Structure 1
Amino acid sequence: MGAVLAKARADGRFRLSQEQIILIVVASLFVVFSVLLDGFFTADNLLNLLRSVSSLGILSVAMAVVVIARGMDLSLVASMGVSTAIAIQLMRSELSTPEALLIGLGIVLLLGAINGFLIAFVEIPALFATLASGLLIYGVARTLVLDGLIVELPPDRGFVRWLGQGVVFGIPAPIVIFAVVALVAHFLLSRTRTGRFIYAHGDNAGAAALTGIPVRPLTLIEYMIAGAIGFCGGLVMAGSVGGFNTQIIDGSLIYDVLLVVVVGGISLVGGRGGVLSVLAGTALIGVMLNGMTILNMNTHEKDIVKGLILLAALVLDNRLHPRDEETVRQGD
């Protein structure tokens, strides 16, 4: 028996994955906060915690799709914010809610296709292409399209308001929507040919192309999928507060999204991780932010904690998923 256990350890079968490590940390923090922080372990607080991280979780699922494919989308929050704000602004006209939502979805799909084209066909590195496109998108929208920084949702648009404030069998709608998005994304990535292609693309783009996978068109699809998922998150955010404040695009939300993805265990070298990784990362960041709020920590103190968590996650990712020669050659 001892020899069997030793062989199992040698084979790495007892090595914890990053997702499992993070879930253990979440469970430990949950117990500590429940004991030490007044008001943490209450039904209202836990429900508010889940509700508050639902939009972050949806956006993180969107980011996960492109990171698994060894990409990056720094324009995710900008494209989400612009498309959501335009859709809400159109709802203040004679257009129906479905028409306004379809236009918003069309905008975000177009922006995703542009990102994919710049990365796959013009061959601009994803980091710089999406950084530039995000700045351009927001600048053009603020200058030429949007009426102001805050776009208020008309009171008669009940569907969008329900997305953020509704209840399904006693469960807040944002939590349900996050769960549905996570399930659909999990099915896409694990049970479909497109999902297998995305993992193959992230693992080794050159090898994937040699096997016949259309890597360049697939890149467009990846960024369009990310944009569509992000648009769902934007609608949930808008419904929660009855409008959309475009100043969030200039905030730290994109860094929180990246924090969730990296902390959860989606490797930056591509081809690894999944929706479970997003759930683990969302749970950790949600519990941490809730605990820091109860402790009345200011923004700078929260940034210090988040920065330390991100650095620890990057070190852990590097240990669990060392760079291969292909990654080093590409300079990713």
Structure 2
Amino acid sequence: MPETRSVRARSALPRFAITQESIVLLIAVVFFLIFAAVLPGFLAADNLLSLLQNVSILGILGVAMGIVVIGRGIDLAMVTTMAMSTAWTIALMNAGTAALPSVLAGLGFAAAVGLINGFLVAYVEVPAIFATLAMSTVIYGFGRLFLVDLDVLYLPADAGWLRALSGSVLGIPLPVVWFAIVALAAFAFLRFTRAGRYIFAMGDNREAARITGIPVRPMAMLQYLISSVIAFAAGMITASLLATVNIRVAQSTMVYDVILVVVLGGIGLSGGRGGVRNVIVGTLLIGILLNGMTILDMSFTVQNLVKGAVLLLAIIVDSIANPRDEQTAQQGDI
């Protein structure tokens, strides 16, 4: 009897599974402790707040990308959508258009891009990686031809409300607060709504989801719509933070940084698993790593090399942990 009670007691103890998320969190803690010990000024309050503020935009985009990847998709047009929709909004404001119509125009442009992406993937059945990659080029070319003619646009002098988006509350930078709000909203959407459960089901097995009556194609369009709308919000926060919009970011490696955050945090590229918590963990690790490399005065090229190596390693780990199934290969997704 005592032995039986002992076995029951051991079985009642919580079991802690070793997951990619927990490993990444542990690595983030280790890097934090190492940088705190060897880098002067790393633990300064200003530096820590700057660290959080600098990765908040990346985290917001990571949440959007995470929703798409969970549904077994990918949005390579996200950063271009962010840049061009925000640039058009600022261009309209500089041309004398009122703030509300300008914002609605930019939001409408981003939403239209999301719907087109979703239509190409869901109804035309173009693999997501190719559809969104092509759309990224189309968006940039269309924007430069018809919407904006400058690489860098500055906020108008009377856009105080926009500058306020990057202020602070109780000493906490507002971009961090916006990241928290977006993350909480996405968590609630994925966890407590029918549409969120549908996205997980689609990512796990699209054909099974279709057979059970889930409207797979409209839900795919919803994924890309959400992604583009969040990208526009991230663009407006970035414009507030920098007081400028540089559309050359559309041709940068930022979209790969977003994918890095998502995959590194543990959201499988095969779809159907992961959540907002994974994005937060991945964002923290990348934020700590980038901050440490900046303090060490590493060149931009070296930083890109490190990020690329980490992304490659994360994809290899994801391929081992979440192997491609026959359906994924037929679909043509990553």
The TM-score with structure 2 as length reference comes to: 0.94
Secondary structure in structure 1 of the residue aligned to 2:153 = strand
Give the unaligned 5+ runs of structure 1: none
CA offsets 1:36-55 (integer angstroms, 9 cap, x no match): 11111110100000011111
Q: How far has the Cα of 1:3 moved from its partner?
A: 6.6
1:67-106 aligned at under 5 Å gives the runs 67-106=69-108
Matched, 1:174 2:175: yes
1:308 corresponds to: 309
CA distance in 1, matches of 2:9, 2:294: 44
CA distance in 2, matches of 1:264, 1:31: 19
CA distance in 2, matches of 1:191, 1:276: 15
CA distance in 2, matches of 1:186, 1:90: 34
1:50-129 aligned at under 5 Å gives the runs 50-129=52-131
Matched, 1:241 2:216: no
CA offsets 1:103-154 (integer angstroms, 9 cap, x no match): 1111100000000011111111000000001101101111222030011110
Secondary structure in structure 2 of the residue aligned to 1:267 = coil
Matched, 1:225 2:226: yes
CA offsets 1:256-314 (integer angstroms, 9 cap, x no match): 11111110111000011110011001001000000001111112211221122112212
2:155 corresponds to: 153
CA offsets 1:80-103 (integer angstroms, 9 cap, x no match): 111000011111133221221111
- Contact persistence 1:8–1:14 (CA under 8 A): no
1:276 corresponds to: 277
CA distance in 1, matches of 2:8, 2:36: 40
1:16 corresponds to: 18
- Contact persistence 1:174–1:236 (CA under 8 A): yes
Secondary structure in structure 2 of the residue aligned to 1:151 = strand
Secondary structure in structure 1 of the residue aligned to 2:285 = helix
Q: How far has the Cα of 1:17 moved from its partner?
A: 1.8
Matched, 1:324 2:302: no
CA distance in 2, matches of 1:208, 1:159: 44
Q: Could you tell me the percent identity over the aligned residues?
A: 48
CA distance in 1, matches of 2:290, 2:229: 27
- Contact persistence 2:268–2:318 (CA under 8 A): yes
1:143 is matched by which residue type in structure 2?
A: L
1:41 corresponds to: 43
CA distance in 2, matches of 1:186, 1:14: 22
RMSD: 1.9
1:124 to 1:44, Cα distance in 2 relative to 1, 3 A: same
Q: How far has the Cα of 1:237 moved from its partner?
A: 0.7
Secondary structure in structure 2 of the residue aligned to 1:271 = coil
Mean CA deviation greater in 224-233 or 318-327: 318-327
CA offsets 1:16-61 (integer angstroms, 9 cap, x no match): 1211111111111100100011111110100000011111111111
Q: How far has the Cα of 1:6 moved from its partner?
A: 9.6
2:292 corresponds to: 291
1:130-149 aligned at under 5 Å gives the runs 130-149=132-151
Q: How far has the Cα of 1:245 moved from its partner?
A: 0.5
1:330 to 1:81, Cα distance in 2 relative to 1, 3 A: same
Q: How far has the Cα of 1:8 moved from its partner?
A: 9.8
- Contact persistence 2:75–2:132 (CA under 8 A): yes
2:197 corresponds to: 196
- Contact persistence 2:110–2:228 (CA under 8 A): yes
CA distance in 2, matches of 1:45, 1:163: 20
Tell me the matched-pair count: 329
CA offsets 1:142-191 (integer angstroms, 9 cap, x no match): 12220300111102111211112x11222111111111011001101111
Q: How far has the Cα of 1:323 moved from its partner?
A: 2.8
1:263 corresponds to: 264
CA distance in 1, matches of 2:304, 2:94: 37
1:24 is matched by which residue type in structure 2?
A: L
CA distance in 1, matches of 2:265, 2:205: 22
The TM-score with structure 1 as length reference comes to: 0.94
CA distance in 1, matches of 2:41, 2:235: 29
Give the unaligned 5+ runs of structure 2: none
